[in-house]
Structure 1
Amino acid sequence: MDTPLVIKDLKLSQYFKELSADSLYPSAGSSAAVTAAHAAALFAMTCRVNLRKIKEGKGYQQGVSENPKNYWEETLRKAESLMERALVLAQEDGFAIKAFFEGDPSAAKKFIDIPLEIARCAGEIISLIKRSLPQSYPPVKADMECASWLAEGSKKAALMVAHYNIPLLKEEEKQYYVNQIEELSAPPIPCG
């Protein structure tokens, strides 16, 4: 296998062309990660709109934050960080595939560790959106909900990839990863 493509450097049409090709990468894991990045990017856009509305004096003031400007700036930083993290994971997926087909003995674990990290990243995006939605400027709430659904799909897809890769592990490693998948699949426990 050749060196994996650098996903974040591809144009969207180029990415889809590569994804649809008869090749090993990009594939399911990188797709889940790119979907998480897409969710984080869409959410980051809503953070920017909220910041612009605050600057214009038209910000939506309902919510838990005492300082909405600081809240949205910090939330934007987190969203951008999660977007970058998801793109890095998409790339790591390609390197794991390459390592596996080159006979690297640690690659099988990476085939599960990386999708689990993608699921965790998507879960963080979902949590961030859920905290932010009540205090958002109403016209971008649909964008936030869409971002949340994208992240949810990313999380489920990543967990499915991890599940399908369990047979690649040594018998004594399997239960640990099954437990990780189950833990990440469980619905969140409500607070308060």
Structure 2
Amino acid sequence: MITEAWTFLLHVVGLLLHSLTPCTPPEILSMGNIDTKQYLGSWYFIAVAGERDSDVNKFRAVDSTIIVLQEAANANTLLFNGSIRVGNRCIKEVWPYHIRPGRDDLERDGIPERLSPLWSGRLLNCSECIFLQESEQQPPLNRVLFYARSASVSTEMIKEFQMKVSCLGMRNVFVLPQEKEYCQLDEMA
């Protein structure tokens, strides 16, 4: 009985402290002022968080994804080359993002109204992590995609991600299961 009371009291104190601690805003990387070369290479898609179910639903069929970030021939364009595992299929996607003067975020090719800032890995004290936020007014969209240099991140890091984005109003989180072998870019048709 005393143990249950003590556990309850600690839980209430934890909730109170959490409610008094303001959300830590993410550090947005100013695309005009950073060396994008440090972000080139392979990234594993770990999780996605959104305000609404509709913000994350399109990812629920995905088992795993590797993104290779490359510079395009146009120096102001980054290519997100994805190899996506959906069931037993490998799907290849390329998402061009443009770096525009006067904008701190990336502009998705064909969707200039979508705001796409990159967040620093400092959100989780992870130098090997980045986060891509995607937001639009119509249709409503607000989600954050979590990428890491390693396919496996700790359970604690996933929980911290869920807590940080929840504090920002994104309570719908989907963690990719990563149960099947990763697709490689050269395996896809």
Pick the TM interval, shorter chain.
under 0.3
Higher helix fraction (1 or 2):
1
